[in-house]
Structure 1
Amino acid sequence: MANGGVIACTKAKLTTGTMLATGVFAALGGVALSTSDAQAQELCSRYVVARGDTLGKIADRAQVPGGYRALYRANRDVLYSPHMMEVGQVLTIPCPEGARAPASAETAVVQIATPAAAEPEPELSADEPIVFLTGSGFAPFTDEGLPEGGAITQMVKRALELADPDREFKVIFVNDWGAHLGDLLPTAAFDMGFPWSLPDCDKVELLSPANARRCTDFAHSDPLYQEGVSYYTLAGSPYVGATTPEELYGATICRPDGWFSFDLEGRGLTEPNVSLLWPGNQLDCWSKMQAGEVDVITYDTQVAKEDMRELGLDGQIAELSDLKGATTMHVFVPKNDPASVAYLETLNEGLAELRLSGEWFSIVREQVQATVMN
């Protein structure tokens, strides 16, 4: 599910290593400016974007009044959106109202670059495009290779088009799924992210801190889709026929990295009762099972069926039907971003219209067929 941070956009292709979604940190292989470099670029100066930078980090370091949104307003002539910037771009660091640029700032400009002064920019419009975050490798739900980016991607697009047809939006694919809830959404690098499964938030005390954050730190849209979660083992395995979680104790269980684990926690399928493996791709789970390194595989039912079909595993795998569960997929937004939280209401209106019109069912049917054909 994770493919190393490749980034793409529905309206513009981004070149990995030169165009960075803000919030994609030094994991892409770059380094941030040193402390001495950062100190040389203070208020009323200019700043050269380095790998690992985000508008929020730069605004905080330069003490920009109004934070990253004010920094974006001062640089709209060079920034495609508040969520993307190019390594090597020179940003204007705005002064507090009434302040004048110190002479040292002009010296810093000469050392870095000498761009023309930016024209005064208008205030951000309330209709600033919404930027959604998702990733590939989760067919039929989200994948750049599918029509409209997959079923969930298409649902989100259509819901917004129905509820607010004049609102502009972008969908960006960042294939490092582990960074979505950990860095990119909490730092306001993106407005909304999908598709994420929701634990039973009435039992948050049973969850690990990372899973509890899905309840405590994020607001959620209405359900986009209810997904089945199945358990599989090799035909002839001693775990064939298991009907309770306790019968899996002692097993080595594989679930792809980026998938939730809250259901495993609720069933006691955690260390030391079982051994858990979290490879970066679900196909690795099947390879490990065939190599005898894994006893049980568990993740989304629909995706698992497609994976088994593509791998030619028909007849070799047994599903543990009595252990099958279900959860719902949602759009997540950070609770500390009031604008994104408020816009969930509009998104939910569009989702309701999708269901009432029957278009929701058409999207699911067509996307599943497209996945099978691919």
Structure 2
Amino acid sequence: MTEVAIVATPDDGSCGVGTYAGDLRSYLDCDVEHVELHTNSTDPTHFARVAVSAGTTAADVVHVQHEYGLFGAKTLYWWVFFPLLWVSARLTSAPVVLTVHEVWDAETAGDSLRWLQLLYIRVVNLSITLVADHLVFLSETSESAFHTATPVAVQSTSRLPHGVNVGETKDVAPAEAKSTFGYEPSDTVVVEPGYVSRQKGVDVFVELADRFPDHEFLLAGGPRQAADEAFVSDLRDRSPPNVQITGVLNDDDFHDAFRAADLVVLPYRKNGQSGVFNWCAAYSLPVAGSSCDYFERVAAEWGCMQLFNPSDLDDTESVTRTLLHDDEQRRALRERMSAFREANRFERVAAEHRSLYRELAERRAG
């Protein structure tokens, strides 16, 4: 049986990448070692130890679950992790798979010294291609963005769906879930679940709530990084009375947020894939989402969400109001979301990963 060492943050609710990796491990049905990368660590020796531990493992394959922010501000500690993993993996001949959970590209760069930011993005992405023998992308959007923002052609890649973890859903009545957050069963609750950040358009969600004073709006999450704490604090100060910002939730309350939702609104500014959207699929929820590239592709293929322009609050309000008042349209979205869920269950995703691991292990042995 193939053995794999998965480098990822813990599956304790502190990081979406860690939750994804935990879900994947639970479905893999092969020997798996979890090489834990601490969430929000600023200790360079920790990144060094993890890199060497992963690279010198006895496993057949090393699989890194990568997101730039896991390695500190400006992905600083990647420059500790990457060379040590590269060297140690080459010494043991262990193939390295790297799953790309987000992509830095031209849209990531700001206006200040933009040319330097773009150069840094290209160098970081180049280093990813150097350490990885195989890259896994979770959507066509992410794959296309990475190729555009990387100065060399990437030879060995796969595109595997993020996966919908139906087995981890919670069977809680909506009324009980609403009570978790202090709502009455009769309240209409609009939810944006997940970590609170500018990229996820939570400021649009708060502005939208001001146009629906008779409905409750739940931002079910908090800041993942210290850099977002001031932003969230300002958001609280300017939120209307019908907005609740929960802070980071434990696992049970996180699932209650989905069960409490009459409608989910995801006003993301940029998105290559979405674990939150997949949880919406797991619960077959009606979703209104921004017209970012990934959601446009999902909506075009599955018809399971309604899109709006997050830069146009009138359009965002119009789509939201229509869904809140049209029971038949919400029912149709639930049915299409169920179809998306069944086609993207984690059992299928895990099977494709096992096949990839076997192929790489056999290539190494041969």
Q: Assess same fold via TM > 0.5.
A: no
Higher relative helix content:
2
Q: Name the structure, 1 or 2, with higher relative contact order (CA <8 Å, separation 6+).
A: 1
Larger Rg: 1
TM-score scaled by length of structure 2 = 0.29
TM-score scaled by length of structure 1 = 0.29
